[in-house]
Amino acid sequence: MTVMTKVKSSRKESEAIYNKTIPAGEGWMHELKKGQVIRIVDLEGNQAADTLFYDAESPEDHYSAVATIARQGNVYLTTGSTLVAESGKELLTIVADTCGRHDTIGGACSAQSNTVRYAHDKLSMHNCRDTFMLQLAHYKGEYLKRDLAPNINFFMNVPVTPEGGLQFADGISAPGCYVELESLCETTVLISNCPQLNNPCNAYNPTPIQVIIWDK
């Protein structure tokens, strides 16, 4: 069982092979080779990075929240968590984490959930599901709507109450907090840098994130 474990990385940004800032509300999709390490940085703090992972060799096999939670016996992700696909294949392991807790059950915001949770006039607001769809549609032609799955919300705080309830709480991340994952196979990463303005997951002010990749 994992506990909140803050672990810093010794990797230097100057030695990275890839470095990109993803503006607030934008998406990103990229393939990792086996052994490569990706760092996702919450540049200004309190920013949810909605993320999905796919086995690049079998694109229909994606990250599974249920398999991951069951395998580690804990609903939160932090250093030591191994992300597992639907098939049971291990995709990535979290090797460093200065935030300490990431959500895997809150899911992504969508036009539909915005109208149900907030108000009907929120229907047209930018949302993570649309960002995911746009990225999938433009990526090599391998991915379709059916490849959307319950995602990880890095830097998002969704505590489970003693009664089993979920709360979308104010974030526990801070400027510069990061999570680092080592890819255990060829993995495709899909990120929506959440544009949500109706709940505290982005502190009502979506901000940029940074992705950095190192070779093994």
| Contacts to Zn ion by CB under 5 A | 109, 128, 194, 196
Find where tokens 């982005």 sit. Answer: 202
Name the helix (H) or strand (E) containing 36. none
Name which of 64 and 196 has its Cβ closer to Zn ion. 196
CB of 154 to Zn ion, least distance (A): 12
CB of 112 to Zn ion, least distance (A): 12
The C-alpha atoms of residue 32 and residue 155 are separated, in whole angstroms, by: 21
Name which of 22 and 109 has its Cβ closer to Zn ion. 109
CB of 202 to Zn ion, least distance (A): 8
CB of 106 to Zn ion, least distance (A): 9
Q: Give strand pairing partners of 53.
A: 189
Name which of 181 and 194 has its Cβ closer to Zn ion. 194
**CB atoms near residue 104 (< 10 Å):** 25
Name which of 56 and 201 has its Cβ closer to Zn ion. 201
Residues in the chain: 216
- Residues 93 and 81: beta-carbon distance below 8 Å: yes
